[in-house]
Amino acid sequence: MLSTVLHKAINEQINKEFYSSYLYLAMSAHFDTVNLPGFSNWMKLQADEEQGHGMKFYSYLLERGAKVELAAIAAPVIEGKTNLEIFKQVQAHEASVTASINALYELALKEKDYPTQIMLQWFITEQVEEEKNAADIIAQLDMIQDKGTAVLMLDHQLGHRGRD
Ligand code: FEO
């Protein structure tokens, strides 16, 4: 049986994953509005992935016979204005999710919950990829400094992101 603290923390993580989905969906809408369909596509796929992450935790709770408690999802706030600022927000957000996953893992160690430790290994690996994806785009945006033609080329490239 899941311990009370771990059960609560996993329910909170479900909310964090759905908030991430909401945040990236808001960013997808923003990029669509400013006529960058490739950036918008990248964010929409990211939003879908986050929903998938939330559902992985949701299914895990049910597999363990634990109650799923869905809480209200906060309204997302886009902090930056430029493309670079928005992707820096993505990077910072992913770093906070990584910290949250790591804290869950530490809790699973403390509680000697071996199945939860194994389940979390997938997320630990996934976070390495999530942080790298954001860092790669930031590096390119840093290089191109919002120069029109280069932004359009990057938009074209991001438009080709398919489902991982
Ligand atoms: Fe669900 Fe982007 O981590």
Who lines ligand 1 at CB under 6 A? 17, 20, 50, 53, 94, 97, 130
77 lies in a domain?
A: yes
111 lies in a domain?
A: yes
Give me the number of domains the chain comprises: 1
Q: Which of 100, 102, 123, 113 is nearest to 6 (CA)?
A: 113
Handedness of CA 93, 99, 102, 106 (dihedral sign): negative
113 C-alpha to ligand 1 centroid (Å): 22
Q: What distance in Å separates the CA atoms of residue 79 and residue 67, rounded to the nearest whole number?
A: 34
* For ligand 1, atom 1: residue with the closest CA: 50
164 residues of the chain, pLDDT tens digit each: 999 999 999 999 999 999 999 999 999 999 999 999 999 999 999 999 999 999 999 999 999 999 999 999 999 999 989 999 999 999 999 999 999 999 999 999 999 999 999 999 999 999 999 999 999 999 999 999 878 899 999 999 999 877 55
58 lies in a domain?
A: yes
150 C-alpha to ligand 1 centroid (Å): 28
pTM for the full model? 0.94
164 lies in a domain?
A: no
Q: What distance in Å separates the CA atoms of residue 115 and residue 162, rounded to the nearest whole number?
A: 31
R_g of the chain computed on alpha carbons: 17
136 lies in a domain?
A: yes
Classify 69 as helix, strand or coil: coil
149 lies in a domain?
A: yes
The residue type found at 22 is Y
Upper half-sphere CA count for residue 161 (Cβ side, 13 Å): 19
Which domain range does residue 83 map to?
4-159
4 C-alpha to ligand 1 centroid (Å): 24
| pLDDT number for residue 5 | 97
Q: Which of 47, 45, 50 is nearest to 160 (CA)?
A: 45
